[in-house]
């Protein structure tokens, strides 16, 4: 029950962040003419390069203290780089910059453009990349037992199973290829 509450709060907060990002694209008077496309392109390149270095250095240090069986493989490092968190904290900091700095509005629109490129672009290609690299989530033994216990015996469980079958039959063939 606690896990369900936590997941509900997390999904709700995630949706609120996406709502704020979408609204802010149209709610503010953005200085597109001051920015230029060069800034957006260099932002995407620099931030992706910085994230790549961060993931590779951090996972290399973590792998030094792990056994051979528990080391983070390169495929997983690549997925960590590709799907790194972005959006919420950057948006909050950029929004704060609009009041504190003269160049703040440019920082805000640059952050919004980067967030939209990475959320929409990377979010779109992430499932095919996971499939192509054959990256699967490991099911922990206690999670497998919990999963068996949550078999659709209750009304809620049967409803979730019905929704899942509907999703697999109709939406998955259309949206996941």
The DSSP string of 25-71 is HHHS---HHHH-HHHHHHHHHHHHHHHHHHHHHHHHHHHHTS-GGGP
Q: Are 17 and 91 in contact (CB under 8 A)?
A: yes
* Same domain as 57, residue 73: yes
Largest CA distance in the chain: 60
* Same domain as 143, residue 67: no
* Same domain as 165, residue 105: no
Write out pLDDT tens, residues 29-76.
778 778 888 888 998 899 889 999 999 999 999 999 888 888 999 999
**For residue 147, is pLDDT > 60?**
no
The Cα 59–Cα 74 span in angstroms is 9
Which token pair is 65? 């203290």
* Same domain as 96, residue 21: yes
Domain total for the chain? 2
Residues 108-114: what's their mean pLDDT?
87
Domain interval for residue 172? 138-177
* Same domain as 40, residue 112: yes
The three-class DSSP label of residue 136 is: coil
* Same domain as 128, residue 89: yes
């Amino acid at each position: 029950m606690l896990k369900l509450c936590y997941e509900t709060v997390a999904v709700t907060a995630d949706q609120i962040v996406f709502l704020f990002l979408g609204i802010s694209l149209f709610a503010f008077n953005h200085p597109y003419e001051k920015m230029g496309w060069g800034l957006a392109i260099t932002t995407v390149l620099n931030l992706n390069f910085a994230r790549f270095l961060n993931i590779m250095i951090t996972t290399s240090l973590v792998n030094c203290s792990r056994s051979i069986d528990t080391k983070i493989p390169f495929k997983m490092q690549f997925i960590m780089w590709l799907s790194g968190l972005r959006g919420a904290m950057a948006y909050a900091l950029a929004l704060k910059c609009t009041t504190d700095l003269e160049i703040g509005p440019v920082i805000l629109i640059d952050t919004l453009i980067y967030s939209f490129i990475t959320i929409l672009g990377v979010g779109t290609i992430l499932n095919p990349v996971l499939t192509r690299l054959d990256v699967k989530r490991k099911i922990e033994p206690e999670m497998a037992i919990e999963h068996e216990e949550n078999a659709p015996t209750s009304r809620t469980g049967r409803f979730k199973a019905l929704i899942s079958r509907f999703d697999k039959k109709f939406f998955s063939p259309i949206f996941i290829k």
